[in-house]
Amino acid sequence: MNKLLKSMLATTVFVSAAAFASQGYAAEKMKLGLSMPTLNTPFFTVLVNAATDEAKAVGGEVVQTTNANRDASQQVTDFRNLISAGANVILAGVVDRAAIKPALDYAKSRKVPVVIVDDKPAAGEVYAVVRADNLEMGARAAEALTAAMGDKKGTVLQITGALTTTNGRNRKDGFDKAFKKDSDAKIIEQTANWDGPTSANVALTVMSGNPDVAGIYLATDTLYYDPVSSALKSRSRLVPAGQSGHIAMVAIDGGSGALKAIREGFLDATISQPVVDYAKHGVDYLNAALDGESMKEGPTDHSSTVVKDGAYFVDELPSPIITKANVDDKTLWGNAK
């Protein structure tokens, strides 16, 4: 092959690659593996659907979606299966922050970038973490509960998530700091460890010994609202806002059940997780990883800030508050069809 032809071919390859990248596609086609802790909640089904859509939008495809069924050891196996199926990037929600390390180590050994959503691992390397600012979510929940209670006096029941998890601690700490700044109401704090039946038992026990409960904060509506509302109903304490006996109630997550409860007046507000954005920006980061780009701290182009949290680059996404005023917003993940 003569020098002129070689030069022309090299130029063509360079221009084609540049054009490919300029359209938002990585130089290497994305083959996305999705490792989910469970697929039995709307949160993760919406996440999978949104990630699939975004992968297609950047010119890639989903090669496989796995369901660990809340089994940490199964998730390690799932990572291996995804990579065997051809995944060159993985988007994952974590079953256990510590137990995920062998999976991350294996992905690193195979040079497969990983983005974790919703929580950050305790160890192991990932390209990025995409999550909400859970301290801020807790603080906004406190402000919403204070507003919903108004001049009403009484005890506040806080049902936390597992305090062994980052999200559980942050949602509690953010709430405590903000609520105590604006109110002197007594707080009864009980953990339900992200378990619905436990949250119902907590509500029944606390309500029995504290008839003056005037406000309730749920660290998760997707897991706690239905059991807790059933417990309140069994005691004739589930009353809509505006009627005598209403217990102000605020939560975090923004699932479809919570949005229905807001429409009915039983739940005053919830702080919505940006689930669709977890998927969109998580996939976009994986696309950048395929392009050889490095993560860096600072403001993003989607109204958030990437911070360095220990060894991890964390994109902390904003979380909208949902009330009756905006509960029908079609962009909310709880309204996804």
- The DSSP result for 96-140, as a single string, is -TTTTHHHHHHHHHTT--EEEESS--SSS--SEEEEE-HHHHHHH
Task: Clarify whether residues 147 and 229 are in a common domain.
Answer: yes
Q: Is 118 a domain residue?
A: yes
Are 42 and 222 in contact, with CB atoms under 8 Å apart? yes
Q: Is 337 a domain residue?
A: no
Residue 67: which of 103, 32, 38, 97 has the closest Cα?
38
Are 115 and 285 in contact, with CB atoms under 8 Å apart? yes
CATH number of the domain enclosing 187: 3.40.50.2300
Each residue's pLDDT, cut to its tens digit, for the chain (337 residues) gives 444 434 433 433 333 333 333 344 456 899 999 999 999 888 899 999 999 999 999 999 999 999 999 999 999 999 999 999 999 999 999 999 999 999 999 999 999 999 999 989 999 999 999 999 999 999 999 999 999 999 989 999 999 999 988 899 999 999 999 999 989 999 999 999 999 999 999 999 999 999 999 999 999 999 999 999 999 999 999 999 999 999 999 999 999 999 999 999 999 999 999 999 999 999 999 999 999 999 999 999 999 999 999 999 999 999 999 999 999 999 899 998 7
Q: Can you give the residue range of the structural domain that contains 212?
A: 134-272
Domain count, the chain: 2
The per-residue pLDDT for 27 is 64
Task: Clarify whether residues 230 and 312 are in a common domain.
Answer: no
Task: Clarify whether residues 117 and 141 are in a common domain.
Answer: no
The per-residue pLDDT for 164 is 85
Task: Clarify whether residues 284 and 260 are in a common domain.
Answer: no
Task: Clarify whether residues 265 and 284 are in a common domain.
Answer: no
Task: Clarify whether residues 256 and 278 are in a common domain.
Answer: no
Is the model's pTM score more than 0.95?
no
Q: Is 332 a domain residue?
A: no
Task: Clarify whether residues 86 and 195 are in a common domain.
Answer: no
The per-residue pLDDT for 19 is 35
The per-residue pLDDT for 4 is 40
Q: Is 322 a domain residue?
A: no
Strand order in the sheet with 269-272: 187-191, 155-160, 213-218, 248-253, 269-272, 321-322
Task: Clarify whether residues 72 and 28 are in a common domain.
Answer: yes
Q: Is 333 a domain residue?
A: no
Domain boundary among 245, 272, 299: 272
The per-residue pLDDT for 41 is 82
Strand, helix or coil at 246? coil
Task: Clarify whether residues 260 and 306 are in a common domain.
Answer: no
Q: Is 194 a domain residue?
A: yes
